[in-house]
């Protein structure tokens, strides 16, 4: 039995990852940050704060594995990752597929992130140099959570259509939250230190996704106009186009995603709700 500390177990994807490890027979604990959401009763709570790297070293010490889903943006995230590695525990750090940059990219490509997530490249380098492992999810969706549910759906509800920006054809990487949780189990069991893996089950065009969210109706938002407030936080990524390969991850980790269509998922949900 492996002792696992999950950082972010009270969040959307972290809850599924923690549950996956527990259901696989591992001994799971969860980081409890000051003032944060209370850790579920099924997991022992371990005090620690992502903004206080020293507390992370103390929290992780004695665990076999730390799985970091929750994060804090900027240089402090890099220092936190180093602090976790200093504990002596194995580390699986969550980055994002967008760190690889635009165009056709794969696991072993050098990160070329857009400015909005520019800090992630240095965090990845620190994790890999320290013998940790990196997982890069695409757009996480499913089970009533994630960016699409929290941002795109409210916007579609307000204006009566899904929204994309500019011309159609912009590509995004995506992964269902349950498939992603299973990937962490595979990575924990099989990944060598200092390696990175892409948690991407498919590529979807943003206009197709918008149409699905809009129940079959989508509109193009002018590129020179401010993006609607519902999607303001990801406005700089609305024209970010990439095709992310997970071929190496599937082959070497034995990962087989079961959910292959984010667009079909939302089209079913949105048309059923009408």
Band of residue 274 on the pLDDT scale cut at 50, 70, 90: low
| pLDDT for the residue numbered 269 | 85
Q: Is residue 267 over pLDDT 80?
A: yes
Q: Quick one: CA torsion of 223, 210, 15, 252, rounded to 10 degrees?
A: -90
Q: Are residues 39 and 149 in the same domain?
A: no
Could you tell me the CATH number of the domain that includes residue 11? 3.40.50.720
> How confident is the model over 109-117, as a mean pLDDT?
96
Residue 255 counted as domain residue:
no
Residue 100 counted as domain residue:
yes
Structural domain for 121, as ranges: 3-139+175-199
Residue 169 counted as domain residue:
yes
Mean pLDDT in the chain? Answer: 96
Q: Are residues 115 and 164 in the same domain?
A: no
Residue 253 counted as domain residue:
no
User: Pick from 86, 91, 67: which is nearest to 17 by CA?
Assistant: 67
Q: Are residues 151 and 87 in the same domain?
A: no
| pLDDT for the residue numbered 158 | 97
Q: Are residues 18 and 110 in the same domain?
A: yes
| pLDDT for the residue numbered 120 | 95
pLDDT in tens, 138-153: 999 999 999 999 999 9
The pair of three-digit structure tokens given for residue 215, joined into one six-digit string: 């129940």
CB-CB contact of 84 with 60 (8 Å): yes
Q: Are residues 133 and 48 in the same domain?
A: yes
Residue 223 counted as domain residue:
yes
Residue 160 counted as domain residue:
yes
Band of residue 261 on the pLDDT scale cut at 50, 70, 90: very high
| pLDDT for the residue numbered 75 | 84
Q: Are residues 73 and 180 in the same domain?
A: yes
CA dist 209 and 16 (Å) reads: 23
The string of DSSP letters for the chain reads --EEEEETTTSHHHHHHHHHHHHTT-EEEEEE-TTSPPPPTTS-EEE--TT-HHHHHHHHTT-SEEEE-----SHHHHHHHHHHHHTTSEEEEE--GGGG-SEEE-TTSPP---GGGTTHHHHHHHHHHTT-EEEEE-EEEETTEEHIIIIIHHHHHHHSSEEEESSS--EEEEEEHHHHHHHHHHHHHHPPTT-EEEE--EEEEHHHHHHHHTTT-EEEEPTTSPPPGGGGGGGGGTT--EEE--HHHHHHH----S---HHHHHHHHHHHT-
pLDDT in tens, 50-100: 999 999 999 999 999 999 998 777 889 999 999 999 999 999 999 999 999
Band of residue 156 on the pLDDT scale cut at 50, 70, 90: very high
Given CA atoms 203, 134, 233, 35 in this order, what sign does their dihedral have? positive
* Residue percentage of the chain with pLDDT more than 90: 94
Q: Is residue 273 over pLDDT 70?
A: no
Q: Are residues 72 and 161 in the same domain?
A: no
Q: Are residues 80 and 97 in the same domain?
A: yes
What is the total count of domains within the chain?
2
Residue 126 counted as domain residue:
yes
Q: Is 189 exposed, middle or buried (0-12, 13-18, 19+ CB in 10 A)?
A: exposed
CA dist 74 and 72 (Å) reads: 7
Q: Are residues 60 and 184 in the same domain?
A: yes
Q: Are residues 81 and 154 in the same domain?
A: no
Q: Are residues 9 and 49 in the same domain?
A: yes
Q: Are residues 98 and 212 in the same domain?
A: no
CA dist 244 and 103 (Å) reads: 8
Residue 120 counted as domain residue:
yes
């Amino acid at each position: 039995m492996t002792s696992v500390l999950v950082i972010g177990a009270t969040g959307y994807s972290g809850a599924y990852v923690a549950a996956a490890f527990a259901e696989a027979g591992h001994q799971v604990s969860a980081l409890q940050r000051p003032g944060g959401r209370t850790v579920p009763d099924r997991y022992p709570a371990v005090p620690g704060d992502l903004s206080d790297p020293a507390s992370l070293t103390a929290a992780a010490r004695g665990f076999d594995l730390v799985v970091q889903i929750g994060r804090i943006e900027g240089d402090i995230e890099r220092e936190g990752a180093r602090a976790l590695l200093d504990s002596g525990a194995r580390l699986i750090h969550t980055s994002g597929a967008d760190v690889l940059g635009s165009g056709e990219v794969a696991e072993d490509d050098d990160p070329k992130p857009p400015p909005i997530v520019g800090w992630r490249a240095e965090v990845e380098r620190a994790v890999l140099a320290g013998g940790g492992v990196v997982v890069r999810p695409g757009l996480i969706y499913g089970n009533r959570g994630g960016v699409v549910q929290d941002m795109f759906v409210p916007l579609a509800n307000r204006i009566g259509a899904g929204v994309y920006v500019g011309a159609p054809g912009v590509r995004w990487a995506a992964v269902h939250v349950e498939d992603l949780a299973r990937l962490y189990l595979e990575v924990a069991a099989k990944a060598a230190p200092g390696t990175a893996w892409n948690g991407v089950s498919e590529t979807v065009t943003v206009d197709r996704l918008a149409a699905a969210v809009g129940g079959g109706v989508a509109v193009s938002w002018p590129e020179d106009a401010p993006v609607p407030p519902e999607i303001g936080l990801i406005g700089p990524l609305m024209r970010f186009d990439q095709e992310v390969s997970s071929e190496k991850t599937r082959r070497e980790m034995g990962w087989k995603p079961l959910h292959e269509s984010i667009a079909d998922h939302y089209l079913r949900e949105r048309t059923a709700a009408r």
